[in-house]
Amino acid sequence: MNTQARELLEGVKNGSISVDEALLKLKAEPFEELGYAKPDLHRAIRQGVPEVIYGEGKTPKQIIGITNSLIENGQGRVIITRLSKDSAEAVGQSIALTYDEVSRIAYTGDIPEPGGIGTIVIATGGTSDIPAAEEAALTAQLLGNRVRRLYDVGVSGIHRLLAHKEEIMSASVIIAAAGMEGALASVVGGLADCPVIALPTSVGYGASFGGLAALLSMLNSCASGVCTVNIDNGFGAGYLASMINHMEGKK
């Protein structure tokens, strides 16, 4: 993925941006001191993606302050994860937001046109896994990816998954979200020729231990090419999938 630093240098090289303009961007303060937070203003220059706000545990006033800081310093789109409906309504009185109640993600601006090398496929074991999967899906879309959802294709009725072999085999990255015993990731990993991101969810009965059983199953997957994120960490899965989908050769 091209970082803003590379884009700045390329812009200077081809004349689309002056040396002084590029220098001004690089000289900007790396963060702003708000007292309760230090918004990272150079995140995009370092990593290619601007700072994302984790909303849970923050007051609406704090979220408004951080969001305004990022916007005022040139961040065109701000993403807020794990935001409750009540907080979204409170923040929305001061800042124009789009809020998705299923994923609990809010964002300013529009969803960008998809890019990347291909399609990110997101599969769930069951309907109850959709909240975590939607956090991954919307994160990936907001980071500029084409997303295909395959919901309720768990191993208890594996014919449902096998009916989508074409989508699985043509994906550039797959996110497999499942609770219970978490077997979906291994099955998908055995069918796909691309990286598979296992997303354990907290769905399940007592012995699932709030997703721990699925997490351990996914960490112990016998399928090659499967990596695992934390329980219910849809944002982390979507972010990682976007990084993979935007990989370019490096000399």
Q: What is the domain partition of the chain in residue ranges?
A: 15-107, 115-245
Q: Average pLDDT of 19-41? A: 71
Give the DSSP H or E segment for 239: helix 234-245
Q: Average pLDDT of 232-248? A: 94
Residue 2 sits at φ, ψ, to 5 deg, of: -70, 125
Dist. CA 16–CA 175, nearest whole Å: 38
Dist. CA 244–CA 240, nearest whole Å: 6
Dist. CA 65–CA 179, nearest whole Å: 36
Q: What is the pLDDT of residues 161-193, one digit of tens each?
A: 999 999 999 999 999 999 999 999 999 999 999
33-60 per-residue burial string, b: 16 or more CB within 10 A, e: under 16:
eeeebebbbbbbbebbbbbbbebeebeb
pLDDT score, position 106: 97
pLDDT score, position 1: 45
Chain centroid offset of residue 52 CA:
10
3-class secondary-structure state, position 139: helix
pLDDT score, position 27: 55
Q: What is the pLDDT of residues 185-235, one digit of tens each?
A: 999 999 999 999 999 999 999 999 999 999 999 999 999 999 999 999 999
Fold of 115-245: Rossmann fold (3.40.50)
Q: What is the DSSP letter of 152?
A: S
CB 232, CB 202: distance < 8 Å: yes
Q: Which long-range contacts (CB under 8 A, 24 or more apart) does 45-49 make?
A: 45/3, 45/4, 45/5, 45/8, 46/3, 46/5, 47/3, 48/1, 48/2, 48/3, 48/4, 48/246, 49/1, 49/143, 49/239, 49/242
Q: What is the pLDDT of residues 112-170, one digit of tens each?
A: 999 899 999 999 999 999 999 999 999 999 999 999 999 999 998 999 999 999 999 99
pLDDT score, position 153: 94
Q: What is the pLDDT of residues 41-94, one digit of tens each?
A: 778 777 778 889 999 999 999 999 999 998 888 788 999 999 999 999 999 999
- Beta-carbon contacts of residue 177 (< 8 Å; ≥ 6 apart): 122, 123, 124, 125, 129, 132, 133, 136, 184, 199, 200, 201, 234, 237
pLDDT score, position 49: 85
CB 91, CB 56: distance < 8 Å: no
Chain centroid offset of residue 136 CA:
5
CB 41, CB 32: distance < 8 Å: yes
Residue 81 sits at φ, ψ, to 5 deg, of: -100, 165
The answer, as to whether pTM is greater than 0.95, is no
Count CB neighbours of 245 within 10 A. 26
CB 218, CB 226: distance < 8 Å: yes
pLDDT score, position 28: 60
Instruction: Pick 232 or 14 by higher pLDDT.
Output: 232
